Amino acid sequence: MKNIISIITLITVTLISTVCYAETDKIVVQLTRDNENYGHRKAFFQIDKVLTEIGEKNLKIVVVAYEDGIHALTQNSRTSTMLTKLANKGVTFKACKISMNAWELTEDDFPLEVEFVSAGAPEMIRRQLAGYKYWKP
């Protein structure tokens, strides 16, 4: 009898897990803060932890960096190694061209994993209108 209850419990938990993560949830991450107190690094570690806990296949994460957050995506930043690791896990990174111009950055200042958008704030709104959930770590 205990074995039957254990099997039923296992099947129920498996089915619930499958239903909860049947579709990939889409998350858009706003990265606008500066790197004071290692803010960029903390944000990237939070994203990594979420991917580990929930599963890379269950989430599609897009990071949109603008204002001071643009520096998190440059190839000489403290987060460049973490950026590559997250990109390999399926995270997409978008850099705002307006912020790039304001900080006198060019596409050559960014690693190959970074894509470019004309403006960060409208990209955030577009993603949310397309069903992405907003997250600002």
Residue 7 included in any domain: no
pLDDT tens per residue, range 19-59:
454 578 999 999 998 887 678 999 999 999 999 999 999 99
- Asked if the structure places residue 35 within a domain, the reply is yes
Averaged pLDDT, 54-83 = 95
The answer to the question of residue 129 being in a domain is yes
DSSP codes, 13-37: HHHHHHHHTSS-EEEEEEE-S--GG
> What's the chain's average pLDDT?
87
What is the tens place of the pLDDT at every residue in 105-130?
999 999 999 999 999 999 999 999 99
Task: Tell me the residue range of the domain where 77 lies.
Answer: 23-135
Predicted confidence band of residue 6 (pLDDT cuts 50, 70, 90): very low
Residue 17 clears pLDDT 90, i.e. is over it: no
- Backbone φ and ψ for 109, nearest 5 degrees, come out as -80, -5
Q: What is the CATH number of the domain that holds 34?
A: 3.40.1260.10
Residue 1 predicted with pLDDT over 60:
no
In a domain, 3, yes or no: no
The answer as to whether 18 is a domain residue is no
In the chain, how many domains are there? 1
In a domain, 15, yes or no: no
Q: Which ranges in the chain belong to alpha helices (H)?
A: 2-20, 39-54, 80-88, 97-102, 120-129
pLDDT at 34: 85
* In-domain check, residue 44: yes
